[in-house]
Structure 1
Amino acid sequence: MRLKIGLTALLLVAAGPALAHPGHEASGFLHPFTGLDHMLAMVGVGLWAAFMAGRKPVIAVAVPAAFLVMMAIGAAAGFAGIKLPLVEAAILASVFVIGGLIIGAVRLPVAWAMAVVGLFAVFHGYAHALEAPPTAAGSYILGFLAATALLQGVGLAIGWVVHRAVGDLALRALGGVVLAAGAVVLIAH
């Protein structure tokens, strides 16, 4: 019951603008919280890492870390003026793919899991960079990386608790929540 209340509260708090759009003036730390699609992907990465970590605990660190590193690379690309196509579509696709991986109980080798989340992280970082204020880019990047790590940590913690308390099926159901919320974002956009 507490888990349901917590998840409901998380989704209500996240019910801000559906997608990231250039022109927002927010701190780097707050930026990942301004789009439900970003939050779902980041929490989803933590959930998926928790799901896979049962057999290989290194995944609980390696997969979220790969997301953070590649997100920073995506931000660097944005700041460098490199143009990436279909950014919003890739961000939304990340929600559906990560939710689907959780629902499908997909356990990939560590390197493959890192590559999957890393690919999507480039687009998340790029989108964050496009919304950065013209000054203080360094603190903005550190802020959104810290917020991303926090959201991934929330996903890991929820994943571990749910997995231990109820098992794989309940954790896979949370993947369904990620996927369903992604559909809401898609419809709202």
Structure 2
Amino acid sequence: MKKTLVSLLATLLALPALAHTDGSAHAHLSSFWSGALHPLTGPDHLAAMLAVGVWSAMALRQPLGAPLAFAGSLLIGAVIAMSTGWAMPALEASITVSLAVLGLLVALRTNMPTAAGAATAAILAFSHGAAHGLELSGAAALAGMVVSTLALHAAGLALGWKLRQSPTLLRALLGASAAALALARLGGVA
């Protein structure tokens, strides 16, 4: 388990950072596969999607509610941005805050009712969707992004179920890694 966690953290740290300020650098992403691969190339999105699954498995009674709400809100944010070109105000700040919150939810193994967990995930996901919506073009890319998001949530759920009985320190370190990514974003490192 320790090797899996170290490998996951090393992967997150090794991925290149992507800015989501205007979407022009990624507007060519229009195929299903480019949409599916896109969430895997940014450590912010990757960490957030995995953290939702981990937190849901460790802390929520109905662990599928938060990942499904996250994916739904991500889709709504992406559709709005894709169809209107709307750039959400404070987009980067919202993504950074979502990472910090998700990291804390994992680290503290925060329990909450199913509806509150789903609402929290949905609120945190919207900015990620708005960022993707500016970067992708077309329904195929959007479908790929949603499929990839759900796959990352499933991987997070599997990891979270394995971590349920693990030492508190291990869970805290995993959550702290997502929160550290938020701090790195604030410092311009990621």
**TM-score bracket for this pair, using the shorter chain length:** 0.7 to 0.9
CA drift of 1:19 comes to: 3.5
State the alpha-carbon separation in 1 of the partners of residues 13 and 127 from structure 2: 25
Deviations 1:19-39 (A, max 9, x none): 434122441111112211111
Q: Counterpart of 2:53?
A: 46
CA drift of 1:47 comes to: 1.0
Decide whether the 8 Å contact of 2:87 with 2:134 is kept in 1. no
In 2 relative to 1, CA 65–4 (structure 1 residues): closer, same or farther, beyond 3 Å?
closer
CA drift of 1:5 comes to: 3.7
1:108 alignment partner, SS class: coil
In 2 relative to 1, CA 83–3 (structure 1 residues): closer, same or farther, beyond 3 Å?
closer
Q: Counterpart of 2:109?
A: 105
Deviations 1:68-112 (A, max 9, x none): 111111111112314421111111111001101222231111111
CA drift of 1:146 comes to: 1.0
Deviations 1:128-186 (A, max 9, x none): 110113xxx1111111111111111121111111223x244432331112112332233
The residue type equivalent to 2:173 in the other structure is A
Extract structure 1 runs of 4+ deviating beyond 4 A: none
1:39 alignment partner, SS class: helix
Identity %: 32
Decide whether the 8 Å contact of 1:67 with 1:121 is kept in 2. yes
1:32 alignment partner, one of 27, 34, 39: 39
Q: Counterpart of 1:186?
A: 186
**1:10-29 map, 5 Å:** 10-13=11-14, 15-21=15-21, 22=23, 23-24=25-26, 25-26=28-29, 27-29=34-36
State the alpha-carbon separation in 2 of the partners of residues 8 and 120 from structure 1: 21
The residue type equivalent to 1:40 in the other structure is A
Decide whether the 8 Å contact of 2:40 with 2:46 is kept in 1. yes
1:66 alignment partner, SS class: helix
State the alpha-carbon separation in 1 of the partners of residues 156 and 19 from structure 2: 20
State the alpha-carbon separation in 1 of the partners of residues 169 and 57 from structure 2: 13
**Does residue 120 in structure 1 map to residue 85 in structure 2?**
no
In 2 relative to 1, CA 100–12 (structure 1 residues): closer, same or farther, beyond 3 Å?
closer
State the alpha-carbon separation in 1 of the partners of residues 136 and 18 from structure 2: 18
1:77 alignment partner, one of 66, 76, 80: 80
The residue type equivalent to 2:17 in the other structure is P
TM-score (norm 1): 0.86
Q: Counterpart of 2:147?
A: 146
State the alpha-carbon separation in 2 of the partners of residues 113 and 65 from structure 1: 11
The residue type equivalent to 1:177 in the other structure is S
State the alpha-carbon separation in 2 of the partners of residues 127 and 98 from structure 1: 18
2:35 alignment partner, SS class: coil
Unaligned 5+ runs, structure 2: none
State the alpha-carbon separation in 2 of the partners of residues 104 and 161 from structure 1: 16
